[in-house]
Amino acid sequence: MIRIVPTTPFSDQKPGTSGLRKKVVVFRQPHYAENFIQATFDVLGDVAGQTLVLGGDGRFWNREVIQVALRMAAANGFGRVIVGQGGILSTPAASHAIRLYRAFGGIILSASHNPGGPNEDFGIKYNIANGGPAPEKITDAIHARTLVIDSYRILDAADIDLDAPGETRLGDMIVQVIDPVADYADLMESLFDFGAIRTLIAGGFRLSFDAMHAVTGPYAVEILERRLGAAAGSVVNGTPLADFGGHHPDPNMVHAHDLFDRMFGPDAPDFGAASDGDGDRNIILGRGIFITPSDSLAMLAANAHLAPGYARGLAGIARSMPTSAAADRVAEALGIPLHETPTGWKFFGNLLDAGHVTLCGEESAGTGSDHVREKDGLWAVLLWLNILAVRGEPVAQIARAHWARFGRNYYARHDYEGVDSAAADGLITALRDKLPTLAGTRIGNLIIAAADDFAYHDPIDGSDSRHQGVRILFDGGSRIVLRLSGTGTSGATLRVYLECYEPADGDLGRATPDALADLIAAADTIADIRQRTGRAQPDVVT
Ligand code: VG1
Ligand code: CO
């Protein structure tokens, strides 16, 4: 029986950079998840008989919301829901499933790199038929709908068994439980030379992949250990846990420090990598070297043709604005376009659909291609392995050769977390107010060439997105970017992105903090960070 349940709006259901993220305690309020899911269905229009993909990163509250979403999909007229076994689908696997099964769209339950557990974070995101995150036009409409919603539709029915693959009926709808790994692993095998990677590994090449007790564990074990022959134990923390073992499933120097210790320690493996809560991020390390995500995008772009799936070359590259300009130099050398978009994968979708770009990347450990419409952690790992197998050189040598050809973009991001929201807003407002006066100002050895608030005009759908981050550009190509995070769940997170360029004939072996010291000081002078946040140091440096 379909029930129409009266409800009242919540005022805080505005999706951020990547869907709606809140504390679990917020999501556990009666009607909270239901309102957001119904608002999403309402803006989709006629979904009668359509297919929906559903899955999540397995964090606490995943199973409960999967059951609710299934009953609501049935009550809203969907014909079929394809759900990952156990309610699990990594974000890139969900994107692939939407495309493969020609679904109308998908719901992904994840708060990505945010911690999980009863007192931590949960999230819901809607992806459209191309497999990518809903564009702003849709997320804005969902938000508007949440503010006026007065009822939702749900089927009265018992829970579906999510652990047995196969089909079950739920009212007039079919629930199809699929293996969450197989289709995705097959896609990877179609893009990369698994034979060459197997030979590399069989020859003694050692790798360590830290799944951080998050969703990529089963994917990495299947692909790296079973299909590619890496030694058992190459995948560490491979069992997904609802609370990620109490850690942040965020692959960076702070939260993946065990991996960094291993890769910089004695007897380090040849290659190290990690992914995040929902499997869309990646970090790459070689023995004794960390490749910044911005550099990784550039190095992958320069070498992608070595993998079968990209042998025809790249149509173009897109990077988010705060990502370093390392990829720009590769695009220039390849004679292909480079697009600069706001932060968040949703801005890449149109460019990928139109065939304008093949590779995309963000400084926040996200890289991907036109094989799906999300960033993809294991995909980046496999492209690196394919390149290493063909070139037969260590990671550090590939990095040094890259810098010797293109020059090096020294890069870091400083995050100030849990800052008082009013203080953070005040900092950004004050900065915006002084933007018109900054050009020509000297700060220490640096001269400001230009300063603006980044706005993006989408060349495909003509939409405009403003206020996407303050940019301060210096003579010589150095840059500071400041913006507030759109994925946090408590207070504000200020992100300060710092970048300077060293030409190919310059000093390519500096320590990053030294190379960026002047910019770090300038950021504080310009934005008054210490004074306004009350913090002497960033909480996380990546
Ligand atoms: C962060 C990153 C952004 C990324 C987003 C979602 O957003 O900076 O590059 O696309 O997270 O990634 P923000 O607004 O907090 O800076 V994930 O892996 O959390 O889905
Ligand atoms: Co993620």
Q: How many CB atoms are located within 10 Å of the residue 247 CB?
A: 17
Which amino acid is located at 69 in the chain? A
In this model, does residue 391 exceed pLDDT 90? yes
30, exposed or middle or buried, with CB in 10 Å at 0-12, 13-18, 19+? exposed
Give nearest CA residue, ligand 1 atom 10. Answer: 344
Report the relative pairing of strands 173-178 and 207-210 from DSSP bridges: unpaired
Shared domain check, 159 and 232: no
Give nearest CA residue, ligand 1 atom 3. Answer: 344
Shared domain check, 285 and 159: no
Q: Which residues of 111-129 are buried (b: 16+ CB within 10 A; e: fewer)?
A: bbbbbbbeebbbbbbbbbe
Structural domains in the chain (count): 3
Shared domain check, 337 and 484: no
* 493 Cα nearest atom in ligand 1: 15
Shared domain check, 174 and 65: yes
pLDDT in tens, 10-68: 999 999 999 999 999 999 999 999 999 999 999 999 999 999 999 999 999 999 999 99
Shared domain check, 536 and 473: yes
pLDDT in tens, 114-140: 999 999 999 999 999 999 999 999 999
The single-letter DSSP state of residue 226 is I
Return the ligand number nearest the Cα of 125: 1
Pick the closest to residue 186 from 282, 108, 178 (CA basis): 178
Give nearest CA residue, ligand 1 atom 1. Answer: 487
Q: How far, in Å, from the CA of 106 to the mean position of ligand 2?
A: 16
Shared domain check, 196 and 345: yes
CATH label of the domain that carries residue 443:
3.30.310.50
Pick the closest to residue 50 from 127, 100, 92, 106 (CA basis): 106
Q: Which H, E and C letters describe 12-77, residue by residue?
A: CCCCECCEEEEEHHHHCCCCHHHHHHHHHHHHHCCCCCCEEEEEECCCCCHHHHHHHHHHHHHHCC
Give nearest CA residue, ligand 1 atom 2. Answer: 364
* 362 Cα nearest atom in ligand 1: 9
Return the ligand number nearest the Cα of 133: 1
- The CA R_g of the chain, rounded to the nearest whole Å, is 23
Shared domain check, 530 and 465: yes
Determine what percent of the chain is predicted with pLDDT higher than 70: 100
Q: Is 112 a catalytic residue?
A: yes
- pLDDT value for 111: 97
- Sign of the Cα torsion 500, 504, 505, 507 reads positive
Q: How far, in Å, from the CA of 377 to the mean position of ligand 1?
A: 14
**Terminal Cα-to-Cα distance of the chain (whole angstroms):** 51
* 91 Cα nearest atom in ligand 1: 20
Q: Where are the alpha helices (DSSP H) in 276-420?
A: 293-303, 326-334, 349-353, 377-391, 395-406
CA 343 to chain centre: 10
Shared domain check, 245 and 148: no
Tell me which residue has tokens 């988010």: 320
CATH label of the domain that carries residue 401:
3.40.120.10
Q: Quick check: CB of 303 below 6 Å from ligand 1?
A: no
pLDDT in tens, 335-357: 999 999 999 999 999 999 999 99
Torsion of the alpha carbons at 211, 212, 217 and 223, rounded to the nearest 10: 0
Q: How far, in Å, from the CA of 109 to the mean position of ligand 1?
A: 15
Tell me which residue has tokens 């945010």: 114
Shared domain check, 275 and 153: no
Which tokens hold the place of 340? Answer: 């600069």
Q: In the structure, what pLDDT confidence band is assigned to residue 333 with cuts at 50, 70 and 90?
A: very high
CB 490 within 8 A of CB 418: yes
- pLDDT value for 221: 98
Return the ligand number nearest the Cα of 123: 1
- pLDDT value for 490: 85
pLDDT in tens, 205-220: 999 999 999 999 999 9
Give nearest CA residue, ligand 1 atom 20. Answer: 112
Return the ligand number nearest the Cα of 494: 1
Shared domain check, 213 and 172: no
3-state DSSP assignment of residue 353:
helix
Give nearest CA residue, ligand 1 atom 6. Answer: 18
Q: How far, in Å, from the CA of 533 to the mean position of ligand 1?
A: 22
Residues 6+ apart with CB under 8 A from 513: 412, 520
Q: Quick check: CB of 115 below 6 Å from ligand 1?
A: no
3-state DSSP assignment of residue 381:
helix
> Hey, which of 343, 347, 467, 497 would you mutate to test ligand 1's pocket, going by the most ligand atoms within 8 Å of its Cβ?
343
Q: What is the rounded average pLDDT for all residues in the chain?
A: 97
In this model, does residue 266 exceed pLDDT 90? yes
* 343 Cα nearest atom in ligand 1: 9
Shared domain check, 448 and 308: no
Domain boundary among 129, 150, 180: 180
Domain boundary among 406, 441, 475: 406
Q: Quick check: CB of 368 below 6 Å from ligand 1?
A: no
- pLDDT value for 131: 98
**Integer Cα distance of 77 and 268 in angstroms:** 54
> What mean pLDDT is predicted for residues 496-513?
96
CB 152 within 8 A of CB 35: yes
Pick the closest to residue 138 from 392, 385, 346, 406 (CA basis): 346
Q: How far, in Å, from the CA of 497 to the mean position of ligand 2?
A: 19
pLDDT in tens, 427-454: 999 999 999 999 999 999 999 999 999 9
Q: Quick check: CB of 468 below 6 Å from ligand 1?
A: no
* 320 Cα nearest atom in ligand 1: 9
Q: Exactly one of 95, 112, 478, 485 is catalytic; which is it?
A: 112
CA angle at 393 for the pair 261 and 400, rounded to the nearest 5° = 70
Domain boundary among 134, 165, 180: 180
The single-letter DSSP state of residue 400 is H
pLDDT in tens, 515-526: 999 999 999 999
Q: pTM of whole model > 0.95?
A: yes
CA 93 to chain centre: 13
* 277 Cα nearest atom in ligand 1: 18
Determine what percent of the chain is predicted with pLDDT higher than 90: 99
pLDDT in tens, 468-494: 999 999 999 999 999 999 998 889 999
Shared domain check, 459 and 395: no
**Integer Cα distance of 521 and 446 in angstroms:** 11
Quick one: angle between helices 32-44 and 62-75, nearest 10?
40
Range of the domain at 224: 184-406
Return the ligand number nearest the Cα of 320: 1
Q: Quick check: CB of 280 below 6 Å from ligand 1?
A: yes
> What mean pLDDT is predicted for residues 167-195?
98
Q: Quick check: CB of 485 below 6 Å from ligand 1?
A: yes
